[in-house]
Amino acid sequence: MTEGAPPPSVVPSAGEGSGRREGNRTRSTNVLCGVYAALPTPLGDDGEPDVSSLDALIEFLLGDGVSGFCVGGVTGEYPIYSVAGRDRLFRHVAQRTAGRVPLVFGIGAEHSRQALGMAKVAKDLGAIAVLLPPPSYFRFDPLDVPEMMRQVSESLPLPVVLYHIPQFTNNLGASDALALVRSVENIVGVKDSSGDRLTLEQFAAAKRSADVVLMAGSDDLFLSALALNADGAISGLSCIFPKLMLGIYDAFRKGAKQRAAELQALVQELAAAVNELPTPWGIKIALEVQGFHMGSLSWPCGSRLAARTVRFRKWFENWALLVRQRLSDSPSVAGKDGFKSEGRYGQT
- 286 assigned to some structural domain: no
Residues in the chain with pLDDT values less than 70: 1-31, 329-348
Q: What CATH number does residue 222 fall under?
A: 3.20.20.70
| Helix (H), strand (E) at residue 145 | helix 145-155
Which 3 state secondary structure label does DSSP give 273? helix
User: What is the DSSP annotation of 75-144?
Assistant: TTTGGGS-HHHHHHHHHHHHHHHTTSS-EEEE---SSHHHHHHHHHHHHHTT-SEEEEPPP-SS---TTT
* Residue 327: per-residue pLDDT: 84
Q: Is residue 44 part of a domain?
A: yes
Nearest partner of 162 among 274, 31, 9, 68, judged by Cα: 31
In a domain, 347, yes or no: no
d(CA 76, CA 73): 5
Identify which of 274, 280, 277, 275 has the alpha carbon closest to the alpha carbon of residue 320. Answer: 274
Q: Which residues contact 200 (CB under 8 A, 6 or more apart)?
A: 192, 194, 216, 218, 221, 224, 225, 228, 230
Is 280 domain-assigned? no
Handedness of CA 150, 155, 24, 88 (dihedral sign): negative
Global confidence as pTM: 0.88
Supply the pLDDT for residue 210. Answer: 78
Q: Is 40 exposed, middle or buried (0-12, 13-18, 19+ CB in 10 A)?
A: buried
On the question of a cis peptide bond just before residue 146, with omega within 30 degrees of 0, the verdict is no
Q: Is residue 301 part of a domain?
A: no
C-beta separation of 190 from 177 below 8 A: yes
Read off φ and ψ for residue 216, nearest 5 degrees: -70, 135
- Is 216 contained in some domain? yes
Domain assignment of residue 196, given as a range: 20-256
DSSP-derived secondary structure letter, 298: S
Contact 95, 128 (CB under 8 A): no
From residue 138, give the alpha-carbon distance in Å to each of 44, 110, 118, 168, 273: 27, 8, 20, 12, 30
Proportion of the chain in helix, strand, coil states, percent, rounded to 5: 45, 15, 40
Tell me if 38 is assigned to some domain.
Answer: yes
Residue 229 lies in a domain: yes
Closest residue by Cα to residue 221 from 191, 243, 176, 242: 191
Closest CA to 290 of 319, 266, 311, 333: 319
Domains identified in the chain, total number? 1
Across 50-92, the runs of DSSP E, i.e. the strands, are 68-71
Identify the three-state secondary structure at position 235.
Answer: strand
Distance CA 107, CA 262 (A): 35
Please report, as a single letter, which amino acid is at residue 194: S
